[in-house]
Amino acid sequence: MNLRERKKLATWHAIRSAALRLFDEQGYEATTVEQIVAAANVSRATFFNYFAGKEAVVFDQAPDERHAWQTLMTDRPADEPLWDSLTAILTGFLENLRDRMPMQRRLKAQSPALAQSGQNFGERFFTELRQWVAARTAHGDELTATLQVNLALAAADTAYQTWPDDQPFDDFLERLDQCLRQARPGTATD
């Protein structure tokens, strides 16, 4: 990364950090873009160069996170069973959200506007995961591969939905592991 890219990334993180701190202190609804730009020491135009609005601050993934999840995908052995790869990738991706996911969840619970949002913190990742699975899938196995990725994503969603608000992030990871083990192809009982 050159100096310009590092500065842009630092600005992106400074804006998000200031916004999340303000959201945590005074709530999402009560926080204005003007307060965020003042706390981040940037202009309003700079804010909108990086984020489409307050909602984007909560849900957009950091520009440097994409490299991390792409590495999770490319590091999987080509001969590894797809389910094992999906489990490792999803777990790694979600572990990287340890610092952000609980706050995002709390903000969605406190804010009617965020609760109604159709956006989630993994849209871009999920799209790339599906593309990765498609590229890795042999012709004729598309149905099985699509089913497996959908099962893995449903397992992750189930872990998230059943994670009690008062429990730490490690409880979510335990639920994720349990859901992925139960959803594993070949483990269903008749």
Report helix angle 101-110 to 3-26, nearest 10: 40
Q: Which pTM value belongs to this model?
A: 0.81
Q: How confident is the model at residue 186 (pLDDT cuts 50, 70, 90)?
A: confident
Higher pLDDT, 60 or 121: 60
Half-sphere exposure of 17 (CA within 13 A, CB side): 9
**58-102 per-position pLDDT tens digit:** 888 888 888 888 999 999 999 999 999 999 999 999 999 898 888
- CATH fold, domain 3-58, is Arc Repressor Mutant, subunit A (1.10.10)
C-beta neighbour count of 106 within 10 angstroms? 14
Asked whether the beta carbons of 129 and 92 are under 8 A apart, the reply is: no
Calpha distance 79→158 (Å, rounded) = 28
Q: What is the pLDDT of residues 161-176, one digit of tens each?
A: 999 988 999 999 999 9
- pLDDT tens per residue, range 144-158: 899 999 999 999 999
Mean of pLDDT values over 13-23: 94
CA atoms within a 13 Å half-sphere pointing along the CA-CB vector of 119: 17
Alpha-carbon distance of 134 to 136, in angstroms, equals 5
Task: Indicate the pLDDT class of residue 189, thresholds 50, 70 and 90.
Answer: very low
Q: What's the average model confidence in pLDDT over 121-147?
A: 87
pLDDT at 190: 41
For domain 65-183, which CATH number applies: 3.90.950.20, 3.40.50.2300, 2.10.109.10, 1.10.357.10?
A: 1.10.357.10
- Segment among 29-33, 108-112, 117-121 with least mean pLDDT: 117-121
**Helix 169-183 with 82-95: angle, nearest 10 deg:** 170
As given in the structure block, the two tokens for residue 178 are: 């349990």
Domain ranges of the chain: 3-58, 65-183
Distance CA 122, CA 129 (A): 10
